[in-house]
Structures are given as structure tokens and as C-alpha cells.
Amino acid sequence: MVYTQIQVNKRNSILLFLGFFIIILILGTILDYIFNLGYFGIFIGFIFSIFSALFSYYYGDKIVLRLSGARLVTQKEYPVLFNLVEGLSLGTGIPMPKIHVIEDNAINAFATGRDPEHASIAVTKGSLLKLNKEELEGVLAHELSHIKNYDIRFMVLVSVMVGTIVMLSDLFLRGFMFRGSDRDGKNPNVILLVLGIIFLILSPIFAKLIQLAISRKREYLADASGALLTKNPHGLANALKKIGNDHNILRTANNATAHLYISNPFKNKKQFFGNLFSSHPPLELRIKELEKM
């Protein structure tokens, strides 16, 4: 049952990811129509996307770690943490990632990097102080599953695609306002023009929703994979319960990195649309799925 769900999540995530390229193609087409550029708008969109993706591929993890205030630590400082990560890495068959600690009392963790050979795990000080060994092992297994499943690469690229769509939409809207509604002295098709402007406004929202949907599916997948790795789903379930009862908000988290963490770092913030704009599935549902295993 778990393996079937893993395959379904992977297939659906790929389909959602393809949606970003469709949105960029439409954005470029709208740019071509409004400014009469031929295929230049589509060309700009794809070139900008490729450049952003390459930059994030090689430097995204370093930027995320710096933004999160994560510090590279040694085995001498945290021997128990290193022993757990080393043992779990052997179990998953991947190289041991670099280990970072975030000086914050909230319970949280994330993994980042471009592949298992260039990966890092960051754990908050609160996780080390408030979780017992079994719970901490469950959290680390969850993050190592993100690395093994190449979620770390996938989510970085998705984040860049969202940023690309937001920036292109803003650029096109600003350009249209400066250019005005006249195009080479001819009146454009009003209906197409209005539809194009509406799409430019709504596309960043659609892109963000796709990103969040992918992130939520990946969390379920990592929960299941981590539980299979430790053969102890209750360890991670109990850790998630403690996270749910922990009222500390991670101070170094931001909207660009929130989806990477094992739990929403802004969990105490009220949301008008329920879980629609949440970067993570509800903890209650994740715990319930783990307890079924």
C-alpha cells in the first residue's frame, strides 16, 4: 500500500511540475501578443527559466542554508546526531550529508542540495533538546528520504519556477502599463487582451498553489519512506505530536524556505483559506497515516 502511494505521488508531482512550463509558455504567448514580438516573449521566458534553474541547481542549497541561519557542525560537537545520521545514511544507501544546526528553540528540520552526493541536513537546537532519540531518528529518516527521493532537487527547481513566473508576470504587467493598450497604432482584440491581463494577474497565484500541492504530497511520501527506513513509524508520529504542541515559531524561516521544513514554521499563523495556502498537510492527518502503518 505504501509503495503504491509512493508511485502515485511521484507521478502526480511530475504532472504538476509540467504545469509550470505550460504557464511560462502561455505567459510568453501573451507577451508576444501584447507587444507584437513574434516568438521573442516565449524565448525570453524559457531562457530566463533555464538560467534561474541552473543558478539554483548549483547555489540554491547554499543560499537556503544561509537564509536559515544554519551552521555547519562537527561530530565532536554533536556525536549522537552524527551517529544517527551516519547509521540512517547507510540504511538508505546514500552518502552521509553535511550536518547543520540552527540556533532556535522551535522543533524543525529540513534537507537541501542538488543530489545525494551534494546534500545537507539542518536541524534546530530545539529538536535536539526536546526530542528523544527515537523521535529524532524519525525526523532524520524523514529528511534523508527527501534526499534519497531527490525531493531536494525537485523542490529547489519548483521554487525557482514559482519565482520565475511571479517575476515574469510582474514584468509583463509593468511593461503593458507603460506601453498602453495601443499596439503599433492598431486596436488589439479587446477580449484576448482582457483574458491575457487576467492570466498575468492570476498566474502567480496558480503557480504558488501548484508549489504548495507538490510540497504537501512530498511530505506524505517522506513520512512513509522514513517510517519504512526506521521500521518505527511511531517515532516520527510522536515527533510530529511534539511539533504540534510546540508553540515556538522558527524565527529564521521565510516564505521562500517554509516548504522545505518537516513542519510549517508558521503553524501558529491564521489562514483565511484553511490548508489551501499551507506548505504542509495537517499534522493530524500525517500522524494518523503513520499510526496506520
**Angle (CA) 248 153 111, round 5°:** 30
Exactly one of 143, 219, 284, 291 is catalytic; name it. Answer: 143
Q: Quote the number of domains for the chain.
A: 1
Query: Among this protein's residues, is 134 annotated catalytic?
Result: no
What are the tens digits of pLDDT across the range 139-183? 999 999 999 888 887 777 676 667 667 776 666 666 666 655 444
pTM as predicted: 0.78
What are the tens digits of pLDDT across the range 64-80? 899 899 999 999 999 99
What are the tens digits of pLDDT across the range 100-149? 999 999 999 999 998 889 999 999 999 999 999 999 999 999 999 999 88
- Bridge pairing between strands 70-72 and 109-113: unpaired
**269: containing domain:** 2-292
pLDDT over threshold 80, residue 211: no
